[in-house]
Amino acid sequence: MTDLPDSATPTDAPRAVIVGAGPSGFYAADQLLTAGFEVDVLDALPTPFGLVRAGVAPDHPKIKAVTRVYEKTARKDGFRFFGGVVLGRDVTRAELLERYHVVLYALGTSDDNRLNVPGEDRPGSHAATHFVAWYNGHPDAADHEYDLSVKRAVVIGNGNVAIDVARMLVLHPDELTPTDTADHAIDVLSQSAVEEVILLGRRGPAQAAFTNPELRELADLQRAGVEVDATDLDLDEHSARWLEEEADITSRKNVEILRDYAEKGPKDASHRVILRFLRSPVEILGEGEHGPVTGVRVVVNEIQKGEDGSLRAVPTDREETIEAGLVLRSIGYRGKPVDDVPFDDRRGLIRNTGGRVCAESGDAHRGEYVVGWIKRGPSGVIGTNKKDAADTVARIVEDRSANALNTPTLTDTEEIAAFYAQRAPDSVTWAGWEAIDAHEKSSGEPHGRPRVKLVRLADLVERSRATSNS
């Protein structure tokens, strides 16, 4: 049991380690520093910022500007960064609990949901999450290969990730090259033969998970038009009533935007994004068992109201075949279990109640907490994680007041730094990241790009060892 004074001095401040340097980790770090904790942030990669670096679409630089907020946090007293330290490989959960009053998991959700239909793993059928990681220069995806010599792609799912990947597939090279898209992806995307992308929703337009700006933005693409069939916008009675009586403003506006697209008709453009609704893939088609993708067999759905009031896609007996050479499955992320951290397999999340990690019985694990997507699931925008982190940090502060944090036995902060350096000799400190950052930005500047990303771990580590002006 800890017995901490109310106004901790820097030397006797409680210590927290946050595992994951994405948005939720950084918001929590800032709030914990404000609450008087010393904070070490670990990340599996040598680079910070999680999905802001490796997820947000490169043609959305304004969204990425949020990293300035995180940089301010990193400059605060009491903050340290250890990039390239992997929980479960380099350090264990038990070893973190030996060293910190608070272990806070901010790991995000790095796996993709599966469709579980035949042909899902054919060449040419990919998880959108992998495609996103590839064009964003995630080191684990640098060697992925995408055959874009095909004319038509199908993107399965109606969320913002689906829109991102559809847009990236039809961007004009002039829209792509001024971004921080990884060079290997610019090379492949600039030569792409894909002219048509079909975005496939299993439910109707009223249930699409897009946000309004993302849906609207499709109209502004340089060489691509957006097409919606007006008949797809004749809503069934359940959806019409739901939209009228219950739906939030986002869903109502989405339907308006889609109606506007349908009314205007296709613009004269070399490329197209076509939105189709009420269709679920039942098979990814191709030659034999392992031949590349040639199409998608879909079943036409209708919307029915479930007993709990939810509007569900229910298959009819009508089927269609869509010819396509590329399929990107964009049906949501899920968390991966890490080390022996309690995990709820069904939900794909770290088991928790309100941010306190807990056993199956519901009993809280002393000193262990969780924030972000691995706490609540992959939903919301970046800013959602600020409030989410505040909720968990409030529980931590409550537990501190109740003397109910973890009791570490190894308390020397220098020893902790040496421990990481010994376990992960390639680990990178904040100064190391700043050297990488300066190098990437200066490589981008002559080309009018925000940065040119280093995509190989060895290159990132080497650059982190150089001073920022070398």
Question: Pairing state of beta strands 364-370 and 102-105?
Answer: parallel
| Shortest distance, position 246 Cβ to ligand NAP, whole Å | 15
202: contact with ligand NAP by CB under 6 A: yes
157: contact with ligand NAP by CB under 6 A: yes
Q: Given the rule CB under 6 A, which of 97-105, 173-181, 204-212, 447-455 is the region that contacts ligand NAP?
A: 204-212
Residue from the set 58, 84, 286, 332 that interacts with ligand NAP by CB under 6 A: 332
Judge contact between 262 and 228, C-beta under 8 A.
Answer: yes
Token digits for 371? Answer: 């924030």
Q: What are phi and psi of 193, to 5 degrees?
A: -95, 0
What is the C-alpha separation between 126 and 146, in angstroms, rounded?
9
Instruction: Name residues contacting ligand NAP, limited to 67-106 (CB under 6 A).
Output: none
* Gap between the terminal Cα atoms of the chain: 48
What is the C-alpha separation between 453 and 470, in angstroms, rounded?
17
161: contact with ligand NAP by CB under 6 A: yes
380: contact with ligand NAP by CB under 6 A: yes
| Shortest distance, position 130 Cβ to ligand NAP, whole Å | 13
| E-strand stretches of 12-63 | 15-19, 38-43
| Shortest distance, position 57 Cβ to ligand NAP, whole Å | 7
Residue from the set 2, 92, 160, 443 that interacts with ligand NAP by CB under 6 A: 160
Residue from the set 233, 324, 331, 396 that interacts with ligand NAP by CB under 6 A: 331
What is the C-alpha separation between 104 and 405, in angstroms, rounded?
12
**Identity of the residue, 80 or 336, whose beta carbon is nearer to ligand NAP in the bound complex:** 336
Q: Which residue is nearest to ligand NAP (CB)?
A: 159
Q: What type of residue sits at position 393?
A: V
Helices (H), 344-456: 373-376, 384-401, 413-423, 430-444
Residue from the set 38, 90, 164, 437 that interacts with ligand NAP by CB under 6 A: 164
Judge contact between 353 and 368, C-beta under 8 A.
Answer: no
Who contacts 356 (Cβ-Cβ below 8 Å, separation ≥6)?
A: 364, 365, 368, 369, 395, 399
374: contact with ligand NAP by CB under 6 A: no
**Identity of the residue, 315 or 342, whose beta carbon is nearer to ligand NAP in the bound complex:** 315
The alpha-carbon radius of gyration of the chain (Å, integer) is 24
**Identity of the residue, 37 or 333, whose beta carbon is nearer to ligand NAP in the bound complex:** 333
204: contact with ligand NAP by CB under 6 A: no
Q: What type of residue sits at position 156?
A: I
214: contact with ligand NAP by CB under 6 A: yes
Token digits for 322? Answer: 């869509």
Residue from the set 378, 432, 455, 460 that interacts with ligand NAP by CB under 6 A: 378
What is the C-alpha separation between 70 and 312, in angstroms, rounded?
40
348: contact with ligand NAP by CB under 6 A: no
Instruction: Name residues contacting ligand NAP, limited to 106-135 (CB under 6 A).
Output: 113, 115
Residue from the set 45, 85, 156, 221 that interacts with ligand NAP by CB under 6 A: 156
Positions touching ligand NAP (CB under 6 A) are 113, 115, 156-162, 164, 201-203, 207, 209, 211, 214, 280, 330-333, 378-381
